Structures are given as C-alpha cells and as structure tokens.
Structure 1
Amino acid sequence: MAGMSLQSTPGPLSEDVVRRAPKVLLHDHLDGGLRPGTVADLAAECGHELPAPREELGRWFAESADSGSLERYLETFTHTVAVMQSASALTRVARECVEDLAADGVVYAEVRWAPEQHVEAGLSLDEVVAAVQQGFDEGVAAVEATGGVFVVRQLLTAMRHAARSQEIAELAVAWRDRGVTGFDIAGAEAGYPPTRHLDAFEYLHRENAHFTIHAGEAFGLPSIWEAIQWCGADRLGHGVRIVDDIEVADDGTVRLGRLAQYVRDKRIPLEMCPYSNVQTGAATSIAEHPIGMLTDLRFRVTVNTDNRLMSGTSMTREMTALSEAFGYGLAELQWFTVNAMKSAFLHFDERLALIDDVIKPGYAALAAESG
C-alpha cells in the first residue's frame, strides 16, 4: 500500500525486482563492458584476430578472466582495446554502454576509460574523448525518447605504470563542462604507488576537480593510505582491503584501526565491485565479501560492476547476489544507491534531484507493489 516502509520488503529479492530498481554506478570500465558481438564486429572491421569465434567469445572472456591467471585476465583487455581505436568504434561502444546500463535499471553512471590507450590509429586525445561523448549523447537521447531517465559522465583514467597522468588530468579539466566529471588512475598497484602521480593530483586540487584512485584492491592498506593522505582522493576504487585495519574479536566486538576509522568518519566512498573482487582474489566469495561487514559498520559503501564483460555481470546481478547472500531488501539496495548518488562527481543540485525525483520514488513504488 502507499507509504509502506522499505523495511517491510526484506530480501532476498527477485532478479526482476532488482532490475526495475533505480541504480547508480560509479565504477564501470568502458573497455570492460563491450558486447561480445560488438567485439566480433569491430575486430572484423579492423582486421584484429580474436582468440575465439563469435559464438564462443563471451564464454572465452569470462573463462579467461576467471582462470586465476593474471596474464589471461590482462589478455582480455588487449582484445577490447585493440578494437576501440577508431572514432566510430568508440562511439558505438559508448552508445551501447548507455543502452545496456539503462536496460539494467541504471539511472546514473560514471564510466571510466583510459584515452591514452586509444590513440594507436592516429586519433588525438581530444578526438577519442569527443567520440566517446558522441556515443554517450546518442545513447542518452535514445533512452529519453522512450521516456526513460539516464545521466552519464566520463571519468578519464591514466595508467599508473605510464607517464601521462598530468596530460590526462589536464584533458579531464578541459572537458569537465562537456561530459567529463573526473579523473582516475588504474593499473597494477604493486610497484606503482599513486604518489608517482602527485603532480597530476596537485594540479587537479588547484583546479577544483574531482578524482578517484584505484586502491586497496590487491595491494592493501599502504595503497589506501597513500591514495587518501598523500593524494587526496575523493573516492577509493574498490578499497576492499580496508578490512585489514578492522579487528573482530571472538565475542563479535569490532575495533577499527586509525585508517579504517578515518575512512568511515570522513565518509570516503568505497567503490566495491563484488564479482570482480572474487575473480581477482580480493574476496573469496560473495557470501564472504567484506561488503557485508562494511555495510553493517556503515562505511560509505557503493555497489559497482567494474568490468561487465569479463565478469559476466550487471548491476542487477551484483545486487541480486548481495540480496541472496546477506538478505538485503529494498531498504538496503536504496541505501547503496543513495550512497552512490551522494558520492557522484555530479553537481549537488543534480544529485539531489535524482535522489528525490527518481531514486526514492522508484523504490517506494517497488515497496508498494510488494505490499
């Protein structure tokens, strides 16, 4: 009935209900979310040799990413990046990204990608950003034409093993009023600390720009500490290893270390990607994922997909799995979603409008159906 509390609709929730719930996605890689058929089409166009035929390609990506071999996991991205070297390819991938996310019930997304990896065929950095933005604009127009709501922004990523972070940071600032909302660094954490890119982060601070940093996925607490205290990250990409600074006694008593306490006190958002974390070994299973404890402790937890193609996932799959593992209902899913919207690099008034006009009414409608 109208006005029913979300607390009265506990989990586990059906996949259909989760799909229809409005969702917010902060950590999604453009080159990790292609449709298998699109990879095959683009490979044929540019003459790139693929490791499997079209009908087996989706399974090959999932199995390679889930093989336990870092080399095979990284190989999957060599194929997606290879077919994303033309403006038309980038536009198609970006447009389909919007279409797929909107069909999954996502209403706001920040999609990250590394422009420096898409200039091998001669495009400039400005040209590749423009091509992706065109695809996003086309996708949003198609969603709105059907009466849907979808807002998307680019996060420009620099690779931590490369030396172009200052250049990419300047690119993000140059495009920030034209579809780009922030900056990120990604790549192997071990051996490539974020402090190697301090010039870029100091520049972003001076320009009043937002940025997130991949940290605490595999390397642990030092990576998180540097990202926050040296670099000043607004959000943590993954951040799952913050649990290494939390002690749970035999009687269930919890003690937070200094870093974990700081992260919680400051409401620093954690961009958690459950299925990806299991795949990379950062968590042993969904049921054992630290997201359960971090949610109980009320860290600023958000739920994300990371690489939809490689993990064979979607926001619906991620949230359905969490509902099944932890009994989360609509109240918890709305909490994750509002957390993410509060943490987005969108202007405050736009964030508030999506929360008040789209997210909360969407969950209230689902709760009323359940009643």
Structure 2
Amino acid sequence: MSIDQSGDVTIQGASLRSLPKVSLHDHLDGALRPSTIIELADAIGLDVPEQDPAALGTWFATQSDSGSLVEYLKTFDLTTAVMQTREGLTRVAREFVEDLAADGVIYGEVRWAPEQHLGRGLTLEQAVDAVQQGIEEGEDAADRSGSSIRVGQLITAMRHADRSREIAELAVSFRGRGAVGFDIAGAEDGFPASNHRAAFDYLAENFFPVTVHAGEAAGLASIRSALIDGRALRLGHGVRIAEDLEVITEEGDEVQVRFGDLARWVRDREIPLELSPSSNLQTGAIAKWGKTLADHPFDLLYQLGFAVTVNVDNRTMSATSLTRELALLVEAFEYDLDDLETFQFNAAAAAFLPVEEREELVEIIAEGFDV
C-alpha cells in the first residue's frame, strides 16, 4: 500500500486515523506546523530556509535524514528559535494538541525543555505556564470539534547541560498543574543518566515519574544507567536493547533467542519501550540491523513480549503522524488490528496517569477497536 504523510489507510474495514491512540514520545519543538514556523519567524525577523510551507516541510525531512542523532538535532535550532515568547509557545502547544486530536489521539504526553526557551526574557515558570495555556486551549478546541483528548507535560532537562536538578524541581512544582513526568534529552552518547543523579534522586524522593532517552544514540550502558541511575519507568526509544539479544536459530516464523541480563530485566519487568520507527531510521539508531523499516527490531521485540509502544518522536522532522507510523509497521510486518490494539494497550498502561485513568483509556481503546 502507498502511505503518504497523513498515513490514513483502511485496515479490516477501519480507518486507521479514526482508531483511538496513545502518544507517549512526542517532542513539542519537533512538532511545529511549517506554516506556523514561517509566520512566527517573520514576526521576529528570523530567516527560514524556505518560505513555502510544503518546501519547508521537505527541508526538515531532508535535513533530518542524516543517519546521525547529532545532525538530526541541528534542525531544532530553527524550531526553538520561534518558541521564545509566551505567544509563540502557547500557539505551538495549542496546535500540537489540535493536530494530535485530528490524528485520533485520545491521550498524549508532550516533552520539551523549558531551559531552551528563555532567550527572550521568559522565566522557566512562565514558559511552562505558556505551554500549559496552549495545551488547555487545544483540549477545549478539540472538545468543541467533537474530539476528546488529554495531554500532559513531560518537563525535560538537557543532558549536556547542568540544570537538571533545577528542572526536576520545576517539574515537581507543576505536578497537578499540567506536568505528569520528567525526561532528559539531547545528545545521548557521552552524557549518561548518571551525570544527573542528583536530579533523579530528588524525583524519586518526590515519587515523580521519569522516562529517560536511552538506547538511541548509545547502547546498553546508556540503558543500564537510565534504569539504575535514572530510576526510569520507561525508556525513550530503547531500541538498542535488542543488542542484548542473540538470535540462535531462525526457521520461518520461529526464532530462538538468548537473552542478556539487561534485556531479560526490561522484558520481564515490562518496562515500556517508546519506539519511534521513522525517527530510528533517520538517526541511525537501528544501523546495526539495517537501513529499512523491515530491518527494525520492533517486530522481534514485540514477538518476544517486550512492552513496545509506537511513537512519532518528532512529527516535523520525520514528516509523519502516529497514524502514519502505525501504517508503516502494518506495511513492514503485516500487523492486523489486534496487533495495533496491543500497542495502544501497552501505551495506555505506560501512561503517567493514576491507574483508574489508565483503565479508562484501556476501555476507550477496546471500544474503539471493536469494529
């Protein structure tokens, strides 16, 4: 089947976009509408590579398809530059929620680093408040259009900087006011979670949920540090946990695998993997296994019982949506509705919400997939 950016296809009589979905790994500064970037850039006198929204979208996708996380991250210089004012942050957050709702998402978590949005005089608190205002405006707009969506903030610290304890305190202070969890992001290789042990100790003392980018640009040692030093409840990407699996035999659909201790721990403890298929290709996270989606260890991890979830990472950079990511997996691995429903159940169970609210999500998903 042919899949465009919207990704909508019909599977077993159901429109993929209309199915209820949960999005756990979605960066605010990686999900701007190209038209919005152009308008916000014009307002502050910032030059952009292309003045046509479609051409700018193509520019992002081309620049991001580098095979390197470091090169991929350079595209964020443009998006963060237009997110330095209250108005810019609020608009981007509002449109973020509207776009999720249009994609069939019923619950999402948006991760972003407030410390990167202080260039025009905002304080950390003002930046978080501006994003929360946009989220609530987006939720209200979705409700008026007949959709129902809830979005929580994952307050993120940059792992190459030294403000993680301060950002952790900021996240906890916004508990109950929009913040549902904490993350560290940025260049992973050379900046392990152990560098931020003080922040993670503080979060643990305050029982505040943590997800950590690990197993994308760095391997098993990074994942180990995320779990031990970061007390991570989820792994951001985590795809390179497959390096701790040794395929012994492979005959048809039967695969015999030897688990390393780390992989077995992640699988047996059902630690969710926030996998992002298109992004993992672009950044070279799956280079060990190949260069196409069919080479992605997603299916191996799924078949072995890991708690896999499907995510977009950065919609602008990957020119994608959650609907499209699911459609690409269907194309690569011939998944059916039962498989896609399992991925949503996994994501709902992994959401940083009280158990009662996670159970409600599961019920909505089950009802929506009953077609």
Aligned-partner residue type, residue 351 of structure 1: R
In the other structure, the counterpart of 2:138 is 139
Q: Distance in 2 between matches of 1:190 and 1:346?
A: 30
> Contact conserved, 1:189 with 1:218, CA < 8 A, in 2?
yes
> Contact conserved, 1:13 with 1:323, CA < 8 A, in 2?
no
Percentage of identical aligned residues: 55
Aligned-partner residue type, residue 87 of structure 2: S
Q: Distance in 2 between matches of 1:81 and 1:179?
A: 21
> Contact conserved, 1:110 with 1:153, CA < 8 A, in 2?
yes
Q: Deviations over 1:174-196 (max 9, x none)?
A: 00101110000001111111100
TM-fit CA distance, 1:355: 1.4
Matches within 5 A, 1:115-194: 115-194=114-193
Q: Distance in 1 between matches of 2:239 and 2:137?
A: 35
Q: Deviations over 1:152-172 (max 9, x none)?
A: 000011000000000110011
Unpaired runs of 5+ residues, structure 1, are 1-10
In the other structure, the counterpart of 2:277 is 274
Q: Distance in 2 between matches of 1:40 and 1:195?
A: 39
Cα distance change on mapping 1:15 and 1:241 into 2, 3 Å? farther
Structure having the higher helix fraction is 1
In the other structure, the counterpart of 2:43 is 45
Q: Distance in 2 between matches of 1:148 and 1:345?
A: 21
TM (normalized to structure 2)? Answer: 0.93
In the other structure, the counterpart of 1:341 is 348
In the other structure, the counterpart of 1:226 is 225
In the other structure, the counterpart of 2:367 is 361
TM (normalized to structure 1)? Answer: 0.93
In the other structure, the counterpart of 2:265 is 262
SS in 2 for 1:231: coil
SS in 2 for 1:109: strand
In the other structure, the counterpart of 1:332 is 339
Q: Distance in 2 between matches of 1:70 and 1:189?
A: 9
Q: Deviations over 1:291-319 (max 9, x none)?
A: 10000011010000000000001001100
SS in 2 for 1:162: coil
Q: Distance in 2 between matches of 1:242 and 1:66?
A: 23
Quick check: 1:13 aligned with 2:20?
A: no
> Contact conserved, 2:247 with 2:258, CA < 8 A, in 1?
yes
Which segment is superposed worse, 32-41 or 71-80? 71-80
TM-fit CA distance, 1:263: 0.4
Aligned-partner residue type, residue 326 of structure 1: F
> Contact conserved, 1:12 with 1:324, CA < 8 A, in 2?
no
> Contact conserved, 1:221 with 1:242, CA < 8 A, in 2?
yes
Structure with the larger RCO, 1 or 2 (CA within 8 Å, 6+ apart): 1
> Contact conserved, 2:12 with 2:337, CA < 8 A, in 1?
no
Q: Deviations over 1:132-170 (max 9, x none)?
A: 000000010011112211010000110000000001100
Q: Distance in 2 between matches of 1:70 and 1:207?
A: 32
SS in 2 for 1:339: helix
Q: Deviations over 1:224-270 (max 9, x none)?
A: 01111222111100000000100111343111111000001111010
Please give the root-mean-square deviation of Cα atoms over the aligned residues, in Å: 1.5
Report how many aligned residue pairs link the two structures. Answer: 354
> Contact conserved, 1:61 with 1:309, CA < 8 A, in 2?
yes
In the other structure, the counterpart of 1:253 is 256
Cα distance change on mapping 1:27 and 1:15 into 2, 3 Å? farther
In the other structure, the counterpart of 1:293 is 300
In the other structure, the counterpart of 1:307 is 314
